A and B are shown apart, each in its own frame.
Chain A
Amino acid sequence: MKGNKKIQFIYGLFSLVFFLGCTETPVPIPEFELPNTDRVVLIEYLTGVKCPNCPKATAVLKNIESTFPGKTAVVAIHGRLQTEPLKESKFDFRAPIATQLENFHSPFLGKPSALLNRNKFIDEPFKPVDLVDLWPSYIQEILQQEYLIDILLSTQYNPTTRIVTLQASLLPKNTISKQMKISVFVTEGEIIDAQETIGSIIAEYKHENILRAMLTNVAGDDIQEPLIKASPLLKSYSYTIPETFKPENMEIVIAIADATTGNIDQAAKVKIIQ
């Protein structure tokens, strides 16, 4: 019976252990406060018309844009995966530059995914984050960090030639000695077309921020000029808008990256017709 007492003791110990976790105080959820910063986060959204979970991700992106007003710039990349037009589609959103950019951002687990300032977050397997509920959390994290450069943008559009000229003024907050890169994206929104969702096809879905062109290399162009504190560096880019695109629904997004880490330091966006 000595053995049985030992067993009873052990199982009693187990029972005690089972009830240890009853007293933990829940972590309080603080009210949301918009970070006091002029930083703008570049969101490169890997999506496609055949991505059934993307409408949910797009709703979360809209929520992010209203939660962090003016602090995000979205580029929707319809690259190689899940992007073939549906039989209900009127348009094909794929573009070679989108495929190249998606390849540049590989690997990723699946769509929807988003690169948030191209940061690699701890415990994420890849730079693109595929759990959309984490996007606000990561954006909040990025907005609390310091950045190096302010950006001012303006555009001039000539409706006759359909040429848009972008003037970008880069204003370093401190003198920067490391190599930086600049990327310029042209996007178009408010396009109504079919989109796959879980269980059905949405025939009239509003597609936003579709990447149409890049005015730099896929990986960005090196900034050759010195970046000196409080000395604005002016950069100019031109783009001829194809007849099939609507300039009133188009934006230009610019992003400055650290050439070594690839992380985006600052982003900005401007409408082509202001």
Chain B
Amino acid sequence: MKVKAFDKRKCKTSVWLLLVFFLAQNLYSQEKDRGYLTGSLDVNANVFIKDSSINAFGLPQYERQFFGGESWLNLQYNIGTLTAGIRYDMFINSNLRNPNDSYSGQGIGRWYMKKSFDKLDIQAGYIYDQIGSGIIYRSYETRPLFIDNSLLGASVNYKFSDRFNIKGFAGKQKDAFDIYQGTIKGLNSELYNSFGEENPLTLLTGIGFIHKTISDDAMERVVNSLKSYLPVDRFGPVYNSYAYSLYNTLSYKAVTWYLEGALKSRDIFYNPDAPKLEPNGASTFGKYEFKRGSVLYSSLSFSLGNLSMTLEGKRTENFNFRIDPNLRLLRGYISYIPPMNRQNTYRLPARYAPFTQELSEQAFQIDAKYRWSKKFQTNLNVSAINTLKNVKLYREIYFENTFKPNTNWNFTFGVQNVQYNQNIYEQKPDAGIVKTIVPFTDILYKISNKKSIRWEAQYMSTQQDFGSWLYSLIEVGLAPSWIFETSIMYNVDPKRTLVGAIKPEKILYPTLGVTYSKDVNRLQIKYVKQVEGIVCSGGICRLEPAFSGVRFTLSSQL
């Protein structure tokens, strides 16, 4: 059950009284320390211009709202060892929460207080934190994907010494301007070991524990659903589940090795691929399951002369760990499983990106950089992702060279080869494996100290999905304030017939923009036509529809 409005008001009043009390006490006791206020403002505003030729229509924003946006005003006050902050969030006809719809809402998105007392740090409010690499617990914010799963609760960290601490926290997870009613409790301890100044070996060992209790409402829904299951698919659910993690970072000279193993006790989750027998005899896919889960993740980095390498491996099984088993998509995640592919930034190489499969995945990645000289460097990245049943999900070979002959010129060029299981990642039935080859280049020329010009060109060759693409961008920089850019993305060999068309059509997606920076303020306005595609952040992705319109962004440090 959600917290009732009355209770929330009472709770907020108490919180503000507490905040005022803490601030007053600090102001009194530290009159000489006047404290300081910092903050930031981020604003996105979109004007939606309907364009049925690229499928940018049908959404409320295109049909009747025409304008949408979101903003975040963040203020933080520090005085002595006390920090207090508040964030005001506003969404108007926003397409962030659901890219296929419109969402409006506003209110206090976050408040918090932190105070240190000698070896003890305490924190209350909406808390961002993680254990290890986040596999059993990570509360964080990723605005482009509308992820903000901070913990509304309290956290205590006690430092026994410089090398050993223990931290405990408890609370409820945020859900936009509400909270989920399940509870999360956690413990985390880290121990740092150094073997003397002469021995460069260090160890940072951590142990973590998460206890989750689902709400009565969540359990009732699971039980009611299980009632309609045949005995073969039924199980006896429990309220509580536990996740444990043991991790270690070993550093020796230029070698760093991270290893983390995480286990989850039997927990209720929804598996969309699990076969289920319906009472009418039909066999369908998708049902609640009650199973243990595990993740094993390791990363090894080292450098040998001009060569530096990172090797990563990961195995994931049944690790869908959410505050409520009835939640789906990006909602209610407690865990965060690191991605196992390169985070590409160029437009076409970034077009097909895999998102972490928490129920069944095995993956490895190699990233190697070799510096041939001060002017020339090569980067090779290889990643492979399969399900535990060895179904191919993703392959990438990325090869990039950077050549900087002098201070005026910078050349980047390379090629990428991707195989992407669109059937599984996007649930598109006739898609299969998308295979692409993308040669790309990026050339920067500094005309003078204040003037520069940059050109990007990429070509994606593929017979699947939308077919082949050409992308080109020209960016002119007039330091310190102005950047002008124009780009085109052109479907040179189209394979997909869009709505309303009778055959695949060659479509141009242009962008025209200008960015102005002054002191701590950055403003950008862009006319954008953008094809449907995957938007990812740290391995968490979603499919977003085409966009047509004008985008305005403002970023300001206060």
Interface residues of A (CB under 8 A from B): 3, 6-7, 10-11, 14, 17-18, 20-21, 24-32, 52-53, 56, 59-60, 62-64, 66-67, 80-81, 84, 103, 106-110, 122-123, 125, 130-134, 136-138, 140-141, 196-201
Contact = CB atoms under 8 A, between A and B. Distances in A.
B238 A125 contact: no
B2 A10 contact: no
Contact of A32 (B227, B286, B423): B227
A257 B44 CA distance: 38
A32 B100 CA distance: 37
Question: 7 tightest A-B contacts by CB?
Answer: A26-B236, A137-B224, A107-B101, A136-B228, A80-B58, A24-B238, A137-B225
Given A26-B238, A27-B236, A27-B239, A3 B161 contact: yes
Contacts of A201: 429-430
Contacts of B280: 59, 62-63, 66
A32 B430 contact: no
A96 B398 CA distance: 48
B209 A60 contact: no
Contacts of B166: 10
Contact of A10 (B103, B189, B223): B189
A246 B314 CA distance: 56
A131 B326 contact: yes
Contact of A123 (B227, B236, B270, B324): B324
A123 B100 contact: no
Contact of A30 (B161, B227, B270): B227
Nearest to B215: A123
Contacts of A63: 228, 278-280, 282
Given A63-B228, A137-B224, A200-B429, A21 B207 contact: no
A200 B431 CA distance: 9
Interface in B66-111: 97-98, 100-103
A109 B98 contact: yes
A235 B558 CA distance: 63
Contact of B225 (A6, A10, A14, A133): A133
B37 interface: no
A56 B285 contact: yes
Given A21-B242, A130-B328, A137-B225, A199 B103 contact: no
Interface residues of B, number: 71
A136 B287 CA distance: 13
B226 A81 contact: no
Contacts of B241: 21
A199 B272 CA distance: 14
B84 to A, nearest CB: 30
Nearest to A31: B227
Interface string B144-166: 00000000000000001100101
11 contacts: A3-B164, A18-B242, A21-B241, A26-B237, A27-B236, A107-B60, A107-B103, A125-B97, A133-B270, A133-B287, A136-B228
B191 A29 contact: no
B476 interface: no
Contacts of B98: 107-110, 125
Nearest to B287: A133
B122 interface: no
Contacts of B161: 3
B180 interface: yes
A26 B290 CA distance: 11
A196 B429 contact: yes
Given A21-B211, A56-B286, A123-B324, A14 B187 contact: yes
A3 B234 contact: no
